[in-house]
Structure 1
Amino acid sequence: MFPSILKSSKPKPPPQNFRASRPEQPVELAEQDVWALPPNVYWAATAPANKPAPNWLRMVCISDTHNTTDANNYPVPEADILVHAGDFTKMGTTAQIDQFICWLKSLTHIPIKVVVAGNHEVILDKEFYEKHWHRFHTTKEDHETAVNKLKSAGHGIIYLNNEPYTVDGAKLLHKKHQKQKKQSSTNITTKHVDTTGVADMDIDAPAVLDPREGWVEGYRIWASPWQPEFWEWAFNEVRGKLKDIWKHIPEDTDILMTHGPPKYHGDIVPQDKELHVGCEELLERLKVVRPLYHVFGHIHQGYGVSEIEWDGGSHSTVCINASSCTESYRPLNRPIIVDLPPK
């Protein structure tokens, strides 16, 4: 996230204190705010227990967790996919990356976790880290080791850096279905054995339907950690030059993940006179790609959901600022849930 708006060319040292400076409460959601959300998009506490049908995917969106989340203070609901839009560490050390991976591995109720870096993951930006490591770390750490930790973590963890990943919904759901069938079979018990020796069986768990029906292709994700430059943090680029990165976003992208927001969507910094700090070049690329969903974070105060309508409202891109932490780095913003139909 941006500490404040740039007022000079001198780099600002990174913050050293991530404790809350003042009491904060979770975002309160009025009933009308809940109903104003796009179809099949929910705040975590308001999502229905079940997906619309077994062959739908449930995606949970989070971002900017900054090593503050655990099972006790930040419950993540059951889903098929988790997407994390960056800033998962405080200062981008390998130890903090290990801590994040350990937390992701604990989310055994979510088989796929797609992750992109943010400006706080300084060690993952090789060129930047070579020049500026001393501003963030007392001793220089190894970039390749940090990257390999994420790429080889297993447990369904997918680390992306300006690259695509396709979620094979049929394969994912069928694998989950097979696991549920196996678990259900353990609930089969002998209820009564009659005098002929024939057993009446009682199945405690309901039958689970195979959810592959309706799937033709998967959801195409493309993810990037870059955002407009600010105070010389990682994955920063000069405004106006980001179009050289965004031009690589495939036009058939369904779910776009970037660390920073597009301009005018989840990008307001209130303490700086309601200034929009999102990327204008990213917004221009969105007009071409028109993904179904754009998930990001970076601006903690911009947490929430908005829509960009195309062609007079015939279709739209749902923009999700999924920042989990508040401005003072407390994980009070709940995950945002999306139910995805077969594709």
Structure 2
Amino acid sequence: MAAPKVTKTRILMISDTHSTDYNPEEAKRPFRKPLPKADVLLHCGDLTMIGHLEEYKKAIEMMRNIDAELKLVIAGNHDISLDSDYFEREGMRMHRQKWDRSCSKKALEMWKGDHANSAGITYLEEGTYEFKLSNGAKFSIYASPYQPEFCNWAFPYERHEDRYNPSNSSNSVAWEARAVARNPIPDFPNVDIVVTHGPPFGRLDATISGEHVGCSHLLSAMRRAKPRLHCFGHIHEGWGAERVDWSKRSSAQSLVSGSTDVKVANRFPVDEDKMIADRCAYVDVSSDGAEPLRRGEETLMVNASIMDADYRPVNGPWLVDLDLPAV
């Protein structure tokens, strides 16, 4: 039986840019223009510090000049006016003297309308989408801006709530979780890329104190879906990339109880000087690379947070060559 057709695709990933710009004069930082050319740009949320309209405009202008055929963007917990329910409850408290009840409506119109479209940006709300590229790639992507409740910021859910697995899934039943998924992540092999704001539990999710704060239900969904790529941000200190190997199973229950019992290759090493010179950290897991990704057995996980824990834009974007399905 012939192997499915694939095409090598270059993906540039950034997250948690928090209204910063990429200053070309900051020669000692990798996040500076021009960023590397790619087929796809993924921004994993936290475009702003607190969701003001002028911050969104700055984020759009920052991405306007990135050379990518397809630019896909989700929100994060700091992008509070893009969560209309949250903004209705908390917008006045968060925006204080700058509060404008219409800010949420205007923000959504900005990201869904001509302002973002003119920069080549497609804003993704929670759900599954399909896209085609001029290189022949046709891929599915699941997007979600939500993460476990965090200091009363936007796009929250409680840790006992399973937002990513179907209500009839053994994952939710075994964990005694409350199933709340409106748009569950599809089963393998129906999604190629997953982009979320928050990380899965135990995977590039450790805070500066060493605590793992990712979502165990999201990790379970990743084991079920086995996407080629899962990129996220949110936890600045977790910046990095690793290959997660699903081929040796561990019980779902052990994952919930706090174990990170997943067979994982060593985190990809990063040469900081090269990253600064190249304006990115680069990984090749395509069929042209030394160790191609094993579809259905491995997922490349990337925390693409540009900021460090002190909100300094010192981390580089991730640039990945990956095989995607071909038309």
Same fold by TM-score greater than 0.5: yes
1:99 matched residue in structure 2: 58
1:268 matched residue in structure 2: 206
Please say if 1:311 is aligned against 2:247. yes
1:255 matched residue in structure 2: 193
Cα contact 1:325–1:332 (8 A) shared by 2: yes
2:86 matched residue in structure 1: 128
- Say which SS state the counterpart of residue 41 (structure 2) adopts: strand
Cα contact 1:226–1:260 (8 A) shared by 2: yes
Q: Residues 7-156 of structure 1 correspond to what in structure 2 (within 5 A)?
A: 56-72=8-24, 73=26, 74-75=32-33, 76-107=35-66, 109-137=67-95, 138=97, 139-142=99-102, 143-152=104-113, 153-154=116-117, 155-156=119-120
2:274 matched residue in structure 1: none
- Say which SS state the counterpart of residue 85 (structure 2) adopts: helix
1:156, distance to aligned residue in structure 2 (A) = 2.1
Of the candidates 113, 121, 125, which is equivalent to residue 161 of structure 1? 125
The number of residue pairs the alignment matches comes to: 243
1:336 matched residue in structure 2: 318
Cα contact 1:58–1:80 (8 A) shared by 2: yes
Name the aligned partner's letter for residue 204 of structure 2. G
Name the aligned partner's letter for residue 229 of structure 2. Y
Name the aligned partner's letter for residue 197 of structure 2. H
Cα contact 1:322–1:335 (8 A) shared by 2: yes
> Are the structure 2 counterparts of residues 58 and 100 from structure 1 closer, same or farther at C-alpha, using a change threshold of 3 Å?
same
Please say if 1:325 is aligned against 2:261. no
User: How far apart in 2 are the matches of 1:247 and 1:89?
Assistant: 25
Please say if 1:227 is aligned against 2:188. no
User: How far apart in 2 are the matches of 1:342 and 1:91?
Assistant: 35
Of the candidates 275, 278, 283, which is equivalent to residue 214 of structure 2? 278
Computing the radius of gyration over CA atoms, which structure comes out larger, 1 or 2? 1
2:285 matched residue in structure 1: none
User: How far apart in 2 are the matches of 1:164 and 1:98?
Assistant: 26
Name the aligned partner's letter for residue 322 of structure 1. A
User: How far apart in 1 are the matches of 2:193 and 2:71?
Assistant: 14
1:141, distance to aligned residue in structure 2 (A) = 4.2
1:201 matched residue in structure 2: none
Name the aligned partner's letter for residue 163 of structure 1. G
Listed as ranges, the gaps of 5+ residues in structure 1 are 1-54, 174-211
User: How far apart in 2 are the matches of 1:66 and 1:335?
Assistant: 14
Name the aligned partner's letter for residue 139 of structure 2. Y
Please say if 1:241 is aligned against 2:165. no
1:188 matched residue in structure 2: none
Q: TM-score, normalised by structure 1?
A: 0.67
- Say which SS state the counterpart of residue 245 (structure 2) adopts: strand
What is the alpha-carbon root mean square deviation over aligned residues?
1.9
Deviations 1:312-334 (A, max 9, x none): 38621111000011111111101
User: How far apart in 2 are the matches of 1:89 and 1:292?
Assistant: 28
Listed as ranges, the gaps of 5+ residues in structure 2 are 1-6, 27-31, 164-179, 249-262, 264-293
> Are the structure 2 counterparts of residues 230 and 285 from structure 1 closer, same or farther at C-alpha, using a change threshold of 3 Å?
same
Deviations 1:188-235 (A, max 9, x none): xxxxxxxxxxxxxxxxxxxxxxxx4xx5xx121111000000211000
1:176 matched residue in structure 2: none
Cα contact 1:64–1:86 (8 A) shared by 2: yes
User: How far apart in 2 are the matches of 1:93 and 1:233?
Assistant: 14
1:259, distance to aligned residue in structure 2 (A) = 0.2
Name the aligned partner's letter for residue 140 of structure 1. D
